[in-house]
Amino acid sequence: MPKERKLIEVTVDRTGATSIDLRGFHGQGCSRVMAWMTANADEITHAHDKPEAFEEPLEVEMTERRTEVL
């Protein structure tokens, strides 16, 4: 099964205000990548996690289950 592609969409308006949208990331990877993209920012005016951010990738879950059986 192909993995979900991890995408970063950056939109910069005509004043330079920026919105950054991460798609396909899970767990702490979201925070790490967002930290990269906002490393030079002076102010974060709004931020929120989406439900997927709290979900573990399916592959990881399956691996853990196999380990329990063994």
Which positions lie near other proteins, rule CB under 8 A?
3, 5-34, 36-50, 52-53, 56-57, 60
* CB neighbourhood size of 22 (10 A): 20
* CB neighbourhood size of 25 (10 A): 20
Long-range contacts of the stretch 31-35 (C-beta < 8 A, 24+): 33/6, 33/8
**Type of residue found at 8:** I
In the bound state with other proteins, the residue whose beta carbon lies nearer, of 46 and 69, is 46
Least Cβ distance, residue 64 to other proteins (angstroms): 12
Least Cβ distance, residue 62 to other proteins (angstroms): 14
Least Cβ distance, residue 49 to other proteins (angstroms): 5
